[in-house]
Amino acid sequence: MAAASARVDLDGKPIKPMTICMIGAGGFIGSHLCEKVLTETPHKILALDVYNDKIKHLLEGENTSLAERIQFHRINIKHDSRLEGLIKMSDLVINLAAICTPADYNTRPLDTIYSNFIDALPVVKYCSENNKRLIHFSTCEVYGKTIGSFLPKDSPLREDPAYYILKEDESPCIFGSIEKQRWSYACAKQLIERLIYAEGAENGLEFTIVRPFNWIGPRMDFIPGIDGPSEGVPRVLACFSNALLRREPLKLVDGGQSQRTFIYIKDAIEAVMLMIENPARANGHIFNVGNPNNEVTVRQLAEMMSEIYAKVSGDQALQSPTVDISSKEFYGEGYDDSDKRIPDMTIINRQLGWNPKTSLWDLLESTLTYQHRTYAEAIKKVIAKPTAS
């Protein structure tokens, strides 16, 4: 374990051990952040979530020096009076709790809006009232669609980065109409960002807002029918992993033309660690955290994952590895999509000197190796089981 006295921040100042109240610690990002904080720093974690399966190895693991610095509280922040007390006990609050799978945005818009706005309100309020620093997880979806997507298809301006690079302090937030309920999530996240920003401006709240751009890696979401509901629709990494594990074609929504930049979770966690330990450089800022070098269309992602999965599993790729499906059939009424998401990295680079490292190929290779190791046997058993007639 790192010695507390040896740790210094980016300005050479000693970093004092702190107690972090991490809300949503049992999720994908939370599990990686807990692991990193416990293994590389002396900080303590009050881990709040309704689930803890993804951090069980830390809570009950053999390494007691890790386990004694994390305390799990099974709390639903919607209605639990213990929340304020736990915030008061900590030096820093990190809020990751959210409904954040696109399949929910248009089918459960009320739950989505409550989760991403209403349920986050007490967290902001308690931080503000008790002078606690807050790192709040927002999303790159607050940018919505690019300006370029409204230009004619053959316009040369579409090639101009000014029309698609997403900048924290300049880009507008462009959402679809109200009946496109997909934007319920982005809109709720935008409003909580504005509220936090206003708490900073009017009441002096010390805050940092993180806008993740498609962070992916092990433990993301669930594999339907194995460690999540059979009919559940997780985010694209788990959807495609599920299809590869079952040797079914990968479904390309509306032809898979949308573009994304994917970043390896371990690179992204490095950025969050810098925010945690450098408050003087991170407070008052909104940070894009993504990898602008890893851009692909969803179709290219599917092709790459098929090739890599064949390599890591030793099975031949399917003859027809993908199939097209309409968004209405896949997600239902009210779905809409972000066309392109490339983060501008100027602010995070200037404030924290951070850059992502891992290529898309490498991050998919290590993630699909994990998916194969974790799920292939369980899937084989499910497939072999005769279905009840």
# residues near ligand NAD by CB under 6 A: 25
104 near ligand NAD, rule: CB under 6 A: no
Q: Pick from ligand NAD, ligand UDP, none: which does 256 bind, CB < 5 to 8 A by kind?
A: ligand UDP
Q: What is the CA radius of gyration of the chain?
A: 21
Of 34, 87, 92, 96, the one binding ligand NAD by CB under 6 A: 96
User: Got the DSSP string for 138-165?
Assistant: --GGGGBS-GGGGS-TT-GGGGSGGGTE
Alpha-carbon distance 137 to 140, whole Å? 10
- Cβ distance to ligand UDP smaller for residue 41 or 358: 358
From the CB of 367, what's the least distance to ligand NAD, in Å?
13
Cα distance between residue 287 and residue 384, in whole Å: 47
Q: Are 137 and 210 in contact (CB under 8 A)?
A: yes
Query: Which residues of the shown chain bind ligand UDP in the complex (CB under 6 A)?
Result: 102, 141, 214, 235-236, 239, 251-253, 256, 258, 260, 298, 337
Distances in whole angstroms, Cα of residue 128 to Cα of each of 75, 123, 201, 309, 357: 21, 9, 11, 47, 35
- The verdict on 30 binding ligand NAD (CB under 6 A) reads yes
70 binding ligand NAD? (CB under 6 A): no
Q: How far is the CB of 96 from ligand UDP (least distance, A)?
A: 16
100-136: burial string, b at 16+ Cβ within 10 Å, e else? bbbbbbbbbbeebbebbbebbebbbebbbeeebbbbb
- Choose from ligand NAD, ligand UDP, none: what does 209 bind? Cβ within 5-8 Å by kind: none
3-state secondary structure of 128: helix
- Binding part of the chain for ligand NAD, among 59-67, 69-77, 201-209, 365-373 by CB under 6 A, reads 69-77
Nearer to ligand NAD, 234 or 334 (CB): 234
CB of 141 to ligand UDP, least distance (A): 6
Pull the structure tokens for residue 302: 């599917």
Sign of CA dihedral 52, 136, 42, 44: negative
338 forms part of the interface with ligand NAD (CB under 6 A):
no
Tokens of 260: 């994304």
Per-residue contact track with ligand NAD, 108 to 137, x per CB under 6 A?
A: -------x---x-----------------x
Q: Does residue 77 belong to the site contacting ligand NAD (CB under 6 A)?
A: yes
Which residue of this chain has its Cβ atom nearest to ligand NAD in the complex?
27
185: annotated active-site residue: yes
- The single residue among 8, 39, 40, 51 that binds ligand NAD, judged by CB under 6 A, is 51
Residue 329: exposure state from Cβ atoms within 10 A (0-12, 13-18, ≥19): exposed
42 is an interface residue for ligand NAD by CB under 6 A: no
Indicate which of ligand NAD, ligand UDP, none lies near residue 24 (CB less than 5 to 8 Å, by partner kind). Answer: ligand NAD
Q: Confirm or reject binding of residue 344 to ligand NAD (CB under 6 A).
A: no
Task: Say if residues 213 and 291 touch (Cβ distance below 8 Å).
Answer: yes
- Regarding 87 and contact with ligand NAD (CB under 6 A), the answer is no
CA gap 310, 301 in Å, rounded: 14
Closest distance of CB 138 from ligand UDP, Å: 13
Residue 214 binds ligand NAD, judged by CB under 6 A? yes
239 binds, among ligand UDP, ligand NAD, none (CB under 5 to 8 A by kind): ligand UDP
The active-site residue, picked from 143, 185, 264, 375, is 185
Q: Which is nearer to ligand NAD, 50 or 174 (CB)?
A: 50
Q: Which long-range contacts (CB under 8 A, 24 or more apart) does 74-78 make?
A: 74/49, 74/50, 75/48, 75/49, 75/50, 76/50, 77/23, 77/48, 77/119, 77/122, 77/123, 78/114, 78/119
Q: What are the structure tokens assigned to 113, written together?
A: 């809006």
Tell which one of 15, 18, 22, 29 touches ligand NAD (CB under 6 A). 29
What single-letter DSSP state applies at residue 24?
Answer: T
CB 101 within 8 A of CB 142: no
| Residues within the interface to ligand NAD (CB under 6 A) | 24, 26-30, 48-51, 75-78, 96-98, 100, 115, 119, 137, 139, 212, 214-215
Active site residues: 185
